[in-house]
């Protein structure tokens, strides 16, 4: 009597399933040594990734520091030059008003003095109208200085710096006016034209513009930190529809995620360019019923986004559209309990198109919280050439994160 | 030391326990590797790679099912990965309905395990892999298709050819041995 296939298979299975074979004596030593090697490679990669992250943070930190330093210098410069201009005008005004205050007195190092200068200018300018008779009386050259001293009330304000020039000491005298004395640095922009000069208008309007821009929450640079729960959708592409159906019957896409950061540089009021680094994990389940086992495959990738953003809104609430390309740096696969049969997949997944709609709300002066529903459409095949089918995984996700705006210092 | 304790120690990277685990399963796993490998050197590479993965992933073992089954699956997978690094040609032949009714049951039953192993090793690569996965490991054709990225029909035909070739080899062996007698 013949033997059917099942019996034939059973004989082989029973005989071979638990058959031991001779193992080379040095096998353990080889495993022990190579185990260490693999660990070293893994450690190298982890260190490389952490190094990249650290370098990224260092660059960001350095950029922030450089920006702050640059702004401080600029603020200082603007303060100096602005004050110089103003005090020159004060001098002019005062001279017009019959006082002999020189521009030097107004060279202040802080905004306080700038304001004081402005106030003195106001005082000089406005009061010159109100107290015209007194100033006019000073103009005759007889009571001018004495009148000015008396008028400015030397009791009220002692100058912060000792000056040899008694006339210089009279400069803060102009701050006798209570608002100047009590509020050293009110953060309000200098109104052009108060001093009666149009020379400083462009500077003031630039400062105003800068203020407007900052009020809208837009420093030139910002950084986004985000995490995103993702829903992956795989596309199996094959000329044979049966293969597509067959593959899909095994593969079940699972909730996945991505984390990353993006550095953004604004151009103009609305546009920006963004780049950064994104680490994503796509979870996939592959069910094998006959042996009652399932793979949980993870496709991990490091991507560099290159996006162009359009943003609008007010200082509190912003909406944005971000679109661009994600370039894959490297991808790798793991699965539990098996390791991946990585030969099917490429180690570089190519490019994806990205489209996101963001909503951001200001938390404080520098920080926004944002949510960005997005869609990633993969342009390249993830499977290697010669595979039975081509697979591409698209992603629908929701990035949630915080944006830190490296705002310019306010210029007043 | 119970198996549970052994695993716990291996998770802690205890070298003594790792060696114990290796010695416990190395022999059986070597047979698995030999079934998939072209020669002994390749089988040793597979065993080495497989155990490295076992120790790297032992913390993922969930104490569900036997440890031996878990190690075996990793070993099969490691073997497949090495086999797949070189191109395998699964010649897609038509469905074979060739039965084994003509084969003598005693001829198959009289084969020793090592003889069976040799017969399997002599099969062309595609036949050998599919035969191992289906007959010994217990995967079905759809799953083999998924694992190897081939059509289930290709898997079926490879298996059928493998059986037919094994039958021929057994018959040849039998004739030879009968001739000697």
Residue-wise pLDDT for A78-118, tens only, equals 454 444 444 444 444 444 444 444 444 444 443 434 444 44
**Rounded Cα–Cα distance for residues B89 and B81 (Å):** 15
> Mean pLDDT throughout A129-157?
41
Across the interface, do A38 and B56 touch by the CB < 8 Å criterion? yes
- List the single residue in A289, A291, A339 with the smallest CB-CB distance to B74: A339
Q: What is the pTM of this model?
A: 0.54
> Mean pLDDT throughout B46-65?
89
Asked if A206 has any chain B CB less than 8 Å from its own CB, the reply is no
Residue B180 confidence (pLDDT)? 56
Q: What are phi and psi of A275, to 5 degrees?
A: -150, 165
Across the interface, do A341 and B51 touch by the CB < 8 Å criterion? no
Shortest Cα distance from B69 to chain A (angstroms)?
11
Across the interface, do A2 and B149 touch by the CB < 8 Å criterion? no
Q: Which range among A42-56, A77-91, A119-133, B109-123 has the greatest average pLDDT? A: B109-123
A34 to chain B: nearest residue by CA? B52
Across the interface, do A9 and B22 touch by the CB < 8 Å criterion? no
For residues A270 and A309, the answer to whether their CB atoms sit within 8 Å is no
Q: How confident is the model at residue A153 (pLDDT cuts 50, 70, 90)?
A: very low
Across the interface, do A35 and B44 touch by the CB < 8 Å criterion? no
Give all strands (DSSP E) within A82-176, no chain letters.
none
Task: Count CB atoms within 10 A of the CB of residue B50.
Answer: 28
Question: Which tens digits make up the pLDDT trace of A358-379?
Answer: 999 998 888 999 999 999 999 9
Across the interface, do B149 and A12 touch by the CB < 8 Å criterion? no
Q: Which residues contact A271 (CB under 8 A, 6 or more apart)?
A: A308, A309, A310, A311
- List the single residue in B48, B145, B150 with the smallest CB-CB distance to A30: B48
- List the single residue in A12, A247, A342 with the smallest CB-CB distance to B135: A12
Contacts of A39 in chain B (CB under 8 A): 56
Shortest Cα distance from B52 to chain A (angstroms)?
6
Residue A6 confidence (pLDDT)? 86
- List the single residue in B27, B28, B105 with the smallest CB-CB distance to A1: B105
Substitution target from B7, B10, B14, B31 for chain A, most A beta carbons within 10 A: B31
B170 to chain A: nearest residue by CA? A8
Contacts of A27 in chain B (CB under 8 A): 22, 26, 44, 47-48
Q: Which residues contact B8 (CB under 8 A, 6 or more apart)?
A: none
**Rounded Cα–Cα distance for residues A7 and A68 (Å):** 81
Secondary structure string (H, E, C) spanning A77-92:
HHHHHHHHHHHHHHHH
A342 to chain B: nearest residue by CA? B81
Interface A:B, Cβ pairs < 8 A: 155
Across the interface, do A4 and B74 touch by the CB < 8 Å criterion? no
Residue A268 confidence (pLDDT)? 86
Contacts of A332 in chain B (CB under 8 A): none
- Residues within 8 A of B (CB atoms), A 127-156 only: none
- Residues within 8 A of B (CB atoms), A 291-320 only: 291, 293
Dihedral, CA of residue B31, residue B33, residue B39 and residue B42, to nearest 10? -140
The pLDDT mean for chain A works out to 69
In percent, how much of chain A has pLDDT > 70? 54
Contacts of B60 in chain A (CB under 8 A): 336-337
Q: What are phi and psi of A197, to 5 degrees?
A: -120, 140
Residue B27 confidence (pLDDT)? 95
Across the interface, do A337 and B73 touch by the CB < 8 Å criterion? yes
Q: Backbone dihedral region of A101: left (phi > 0), alpha (psi from -120 to 50 degrees) or beta? A: beta
pLDDT of A190 strictly over 90: no
Contacts of B28 in chain A (CB under 8 A): 18-21
Asked if A25 has any chain B CB less than 8 Å from its own CB, the reply is no
Q: Within its chain, how far is the Cα of A248 from the centroid? A: 40
Residue B29 confidence (pLDDT)? 95
Q: Which range among A273-282, B79-88, B118-127 has the greatest average pLDDT? A: A273-282
| Dmax (CA) of chain B | 59
pLDDT of A343 strictly over 60: no
Name the one residue in this structure whose structure tokens are 């029973």: A14
Residue B16 confidence (pLDDT)? 92
Residue A196 confidence (pLDDT)? 41
**How far, in Å, are A102, B39, B100, B164, B170 from residue B96 at the CA level?**
109, 28, 12, 9, 19
**Which range, of A88-97, B4-13, B122-131, B141-150, averages the lowest pLDDT?**
A88-97
Is residue A337 reached through a cis peptide bond, with omega within 30 degrees of 0 on the bond before it? yes
Asked if A243 has any chain B CB less than 8 Å from its own CB, the reply is yes
B140 to chain A: nearest residue by CA? A290
Three-state secondary-structure class, residue B103? coil
Of A307, A285, A299, give the one whose Cα is nearest residue A382: A299
For residues A324 and A304, the answer to whether their CB atoms sit within 8 Å is no
**Which range, of A8-22, A191-205, A243-257, A368-382, averages the lowest pLDDT?**
A191-205
Across the interface, do B22 and A2 touch by the CB < 8 Å criterion? no
**Rounded Cα–Cα distance for residues B155 and B149 (Å):** 10
Of A236, A255, A218, give the one whose Cα is nearest residue A407: A218
pLDDT of A352 strictly over 60: yes
pLDDT of A400 strictly over 80: yes
């Amino acid at each position: 009597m013949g033997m059917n296939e099942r019996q034939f298979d059973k004989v082989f299975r029973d005989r071979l399933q638990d058959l031991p074979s001779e193992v080379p004596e040095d096998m353990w030593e080889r495993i022990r040594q190579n185990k260490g090697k693999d660990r070293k490679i893994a450690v190298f990669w982890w260190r490389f990734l952490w190094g990249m992250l650290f370098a990224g943070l260092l660059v960001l930190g350095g950029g922030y520091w450089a920006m702050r330093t640059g702004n401080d210098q600029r603020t200082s410069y603007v303060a100096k030059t602005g004050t110089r201009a103003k005090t020159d005008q004060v001098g002019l005004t005062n001279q017009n008003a019959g006082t002999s205050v020189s521009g030097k007195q107004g060279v202040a190092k802080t905004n306080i003095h700038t304001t004081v200068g402005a106030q003195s200018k106001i005082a000089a300018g406005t009061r010159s109208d109100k107290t015209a008779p007194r100033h006019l009386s000073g103009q005759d050259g007889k009571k001018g200085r004495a009148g000015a001293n008396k008028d400015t009330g030397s009791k009220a304000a002692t100058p912060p710096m000792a000056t040899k020039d008694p006339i210089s000491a009279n400069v803060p005298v102009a701050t006798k006016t209570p608002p100047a004395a009590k509020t050293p640095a009110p953060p309000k922009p200098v109104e052009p034209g108060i001093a009666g000069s149009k020379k400083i208008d462009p500077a003031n309007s630039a400062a105003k513009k800068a203020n407007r821009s900052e009020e809208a929450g837009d420093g030139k640079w910002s950084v986004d930190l985000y995490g995103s729960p993702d829903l992956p959708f795989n596309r199996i592409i094959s000329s044979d529809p049966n293969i597509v159906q067959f593959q899909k019957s095994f593969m079940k896409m699972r909730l996945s995620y991505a984390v990353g950061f993006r550095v953004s540089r604004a151009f103009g009021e609305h546009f920006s360019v963004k780049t950064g680094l994104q680490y994503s994990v796509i979870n996939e389940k592959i069910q094998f019923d006959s042996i009652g086992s399932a793979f949980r495959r993870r496709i991990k990738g490091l991507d560099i986004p290159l996006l162009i953003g359009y943003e609008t809104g007010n200082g509190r609430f912003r909406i944005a559209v971000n679109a661009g390309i994600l370039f894959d740096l490297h991808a790798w696969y793991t699965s539990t309990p098996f390791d991946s049969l990585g030969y099917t997949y490429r180690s570089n997944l190519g490019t994806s198109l990205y489209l996101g709609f963001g909503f951001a709300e200001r938390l404080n002066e520098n920080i926004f919280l944002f949510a960005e529903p997005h869609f990633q459409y993969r342009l390249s095949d993830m499977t290697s050439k010669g595979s039975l089918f081509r697979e591409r995984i698209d992603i629908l996700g929701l990035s949630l994160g915080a944006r830190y705006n490296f705002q310019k210092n306010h210029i007043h | 030391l119970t198996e549970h304790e052994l695993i716990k120690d291996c998770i802690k990277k205890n070298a003594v326990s790792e060696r114990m685990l290796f010695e416990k399963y190395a022999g059986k796993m070597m047979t698995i590797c030999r079934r998939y490998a072209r020669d002994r050197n390749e089988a040793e590479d597979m065993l080495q790679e497989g155990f490295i993965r076992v120790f790297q992933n032992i913390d993922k073992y969930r104490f569900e099912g036997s440890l031996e089954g878990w190690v075996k699956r990793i070993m099969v997978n490691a073997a497949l990965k090495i086999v797949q690094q070189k191109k395998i040609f699964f010649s897609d032949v038509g469905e074979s309905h060739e039965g084994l009714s003509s084969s003598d049951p005693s001829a198959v039953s009289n084969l020793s395990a090592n003889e069976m192993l040799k017969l399997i090793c002599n099969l062309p690569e595609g036949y050998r892999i599919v035969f191992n996965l289906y007959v010994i490991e217990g995967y079905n054709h759809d799953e083999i298709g998924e694992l190897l990225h081939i059509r289930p029909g290709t898997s079926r035909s490879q298996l059928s050819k493998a059986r037919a070739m094994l039958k021929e080899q057994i018959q040849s062996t039998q004739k030879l041995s009968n001739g000697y007698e």
